[in-house]
């Protein structure tokens, strides 16, 4: 049984969000804003569902899904694309493939040393982020 992802997690590091955003076709202006944000993940698991809220002082993004069940995702406020997403467990990693216009797009979450790790990838660019549990929220 993998460690629980539930709770509030605050970003402590981020690498290559610029490359990831360029791969997604995000405008220069939006990239400058997004690159400075301190992101937070609020993860809930009601029943067999997952809800991942990404919050910031600028914009929020929420996705909810069931593992092994394909769903349509509209990346509203990010690159505003419609993708067909599928989340599965690969060992201790929660892996999402986002099928659409962009090739090799998705993300993976896992827990390591009490930190929440995230890789977001698109067309060969990988953004790596680490989040620390916020026990006050």
Instruction: Find all residues with CB under 8 Å of 1, minimum gap 6, and list them.
Output: none
**Quick one: which of 42, 41, 21 has its CA closest to 32?**
21
CB-wise, 8 or 56, nearer to ligand VL7? Answer: 56
**Shortest distance, CB of residue 123 to ligand VL7, whole angstroms?**
14
Binding site for ligand VL7 (CB under 6 A): 21, 24, 26, 30, 34, 41, 52, 54, 56, 58-61, 63, 77-79, 107, 118, 120
**Shortest distance, CB of residue 10 to ligand VL7, whole angstroms?**
13
CB-wise, 95 or 114, nearer to ligand VL7? Answer: 95
Per residue, the 3-state secondary structure of 50-119, as one string, reads EEEEEECCCCCEEEEEECCCCEEEECCCCCCCEEEEEEEEECCEEEEEEECCCCCCEEEEEEECCEEEEE
CB-wise, 30 or 130, nearer to ligand VL7? Answer: 30
**Shortest distance, CB of residue 8 to ligand VL7, whole angstroms?**
13
**Shortest distance, CB of residue 32 to ligand VL7, whole angstroms?**
10
CB-wise, 58 or 71, nearer to ligand VL7? Answer: 58
- In three-state secondary structure terms, 125 is strand
- Tokens in use for 2? 């993998």
């Amino acid at each position: 049984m993998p460690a629980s992802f539930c709770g509030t997690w605050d970003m402590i590091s981020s690498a290559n969000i610029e490359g990831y955003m360029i791969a997604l076709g995000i405008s220069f202006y939006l990239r400058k804003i997004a690159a400075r944000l301190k992101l937070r993940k609020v993860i809930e698991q009601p029943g067999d569902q997952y809800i991942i809220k990404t919050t910031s002082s600028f914009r929020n993004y929420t996705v909810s899904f069931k593992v092994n069940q394909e769903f349509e995702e509209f990346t509203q406020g990010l690159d505003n694309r419609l993708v067909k997403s599928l989340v599965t467990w690969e060992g201790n990693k929660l892996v999402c493939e986002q099928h659409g216009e962009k090739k090799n797009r998705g993300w993976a979450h896992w827990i390591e040393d009490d930190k929440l790790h995230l890789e977001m990838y698109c067309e060969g660019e990988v953004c790596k982020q680490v989040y620390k549990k916020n026990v006050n929220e």
